[in-house]
Amino acid sequence: MPDRAAPADLRRLAGLAREYGTPLYAFDLDRVRAQVAGLRAALPEGVGVLYSVKANPLPRICAVLAGLGLGAEVASPGELRAALAAGFGAEQILVSGPYKHPGLLTVPGVRVSVDSVSELAQLADRGTAHALLLRVRPDFAPACGIPMGPVSRFGIPAAELAHAGAILRGSDLDVIGFHVYPGSQNLRAADAVANLRNAYELTVRAAGSTGVDPRVLDLGGGFGIPYGPREPRPLDLGPVGDELARIQSCAPGVDLLLELGRYLVAAAGWYVTRVVAEQHYDGRVGVVVDGGTHHRPDLCGLDLARASFPPLLLGSPAGPGRTTDVTGCLCLPWDVLAEGVTMPAVQAGDLLAFANSGAYGLSAAPHSFISHPPPAQITFDRSRAEHV
């Protein structure tokens, strides 16, 4: 994986900012490809990977991932359309989420993750030809930055699985397996291994309670990204691959799936802004930029303003560091992109690039607030750059 701040990247980003203006989202498709190659090298043969489209639904990013043979996990008609247009085959698409808009069930071949007993009962009444996975809520405490354990709301709780089994026995639904999602933003190999193991063991119990003999197990993923100095090291996939190989040997003939969003795309994206002014308040220095949290939200509650690496200064020679806030252009006190970071003094016109901005960016943002124009979104690779 290339460095977050490789000089060639900085030059490229500065060039894109000159060409397309700021604020700007820029996505390096070669980094997406490199991330998938690294993942593939660490996973045992036969483990499938679904791309969680909500992390970044841009058509060119989806097309790269489809072209590399991944599947897709979608939750709305728009995401389903994006996945199909990008080239994911219907059979490689898993529809999930607590509400299946009718538009999600009109494409033959897609698999459907059933989120609740109530949804299962409705499908049994109506009948459906889709192959189904039962999403089972973790009954263990997952170790993750963003856990979805026993007190989360998604999936069928273990206590309701017998009821689900009874519904299945009276129906002709085609349940092919289970789906467990322990959570997101996992950077520790031991935690990722424990989550996979616990998820697999839960599916074994779920098979006993429901009478389903699984052919497919989606065990989640939630592999994280080192956004900042609190968690600077990437996830070590070696032990994760070993655990998946062990699960494969326990479940011969069963297709294992992972579903990953940010892990595949976050490090491929930058949010590039231009410094427009400086503010002084409460003994602090704030550098105002032409972007803000309306474009770079913190939807997942990761405390990005305080926990991220400082933005990268593009172009100008770096001087000594000073403690700086980077404030956005909104008339909103908490529109702060970086708080108390150490960075060189900058001036109006300088360019600042926020790394690790490839996931949960514009599609997760309240970008119509205050009606600034939307940022351009550019995908690029070695050979070319394209406006999205």
Ligand X SMILES: *Cc1c(COP(=O)(O)O)cnc(C)c1O
The catalytically annotated residue of 144, 300, 329, 331 is 331
Among 27, 178, 181, 354, binds ligand X (CB under 6 A): 181
CB of 50 to ligand X, least distance (A): 8
User: CB 138 → ligand X: shortest distance, Å?
Assistant: 12
Interaction of residue 136 with ligand X, rule CB under 6 A: no
- Among 60, 100, 111, 262, which residue interacts with ligand X (rule: CB under 6 A)? 262
When asked if residue 137 is in the footprint of ligand X (CB under 6 A), the reply is no
Give Cβ neighbours of residue 250 (< 8 Å, ≥ 6 apart). 200
Binding ligand X (rule: CB under 6 A), the pick from 13, 175, 176, 260 is 260
Cβ nearer to ligand X, comparing 260 with 337: 260
Q: How far is the CB of 300 from ligand X (least distance, A)?
A: 7
Catalytic residue flag (residue 329): no
Contact (Cβ atoms closer than 8 angstroms) between residue 124 and residue 134:
no
Select 188 or 372, whichever has its Cβ closest to ligand X.
188
Nearest distance in Å: CB 269, ligand X? 13
Min dist. Cβ of residue 17 to ligand X (A) = 26
Could you tell me if 182 and 222 are in contact, meaning their C-beta atoms sit under 8 angstroms apart? yes
Which residue's CB is nearer to ligand X, number 178 or number 263? 263
Round to whole Å and give the CA distance between 60 and 37: 18
Toward ligand X, which CB reaches closer, 262 or 367? Answer: 262
Is 222 among the residues that bind ligand X (CB under 6 A)? Answer: yes
12 makes contact with ligand X (CB under 6 A): no
User: Smallest distance, Å, CB 319 to ligand X?
Assistant: 36
- C-alpha span between 217 and 224 (Å, rounded): 21
- Contact with ligand X (CB under 6 A): which of 96, 116, 203, 273? 96
Contact residue for ligand X among 22, 52, 203, 273 (CB under 6 A): 52
Using the minimum distance from each CB to ligand X, give the nearer residue, 221 or 286. 221
Q: Is 57 in the site for ligand X (CB under 6 A)?
A: no
Q: Which of 207, 192, 254 is nearest to 48 (CA)?
A: 254
The residue count for binding ligand X (CB under 6 A) is 16
261 interacts with ligand X by CB under 6 A:
yes
Asked if 147 touches ligand X (CB under 6 A), the answer is no
Question: C-beta of 146: minimal distance to ligand X in Å?
Answer: 7
Return the amino acid letter for 276.
Answer: V
Q: Fill in the amino acid letter for 80.
A: L
Cα-Cα-Cα-Cα torsion 367, 298, 182, 221, nearest 10 degrees, comes to 80
Where does this chain touch ligand X (CB under 6 A) — which range of 2-10, 49-57, 188-196, 282-290?
A: 49-57
* Nearest CA-CA partner of 217 in 206, 203, 197: 203
> Judged by CB under 6 A, does residue 55 bind ligand X?
yes
119 vs 350, beta carbon nearer ligand X: 119
Point out which residues bind ligand X (CB under 6 A). Answer: 52, 54-55, 73, 96, 181, 184-185, 221-222, 259-263, 359
Q: Among all residues, which ones are annotated catalytic?
A: 331
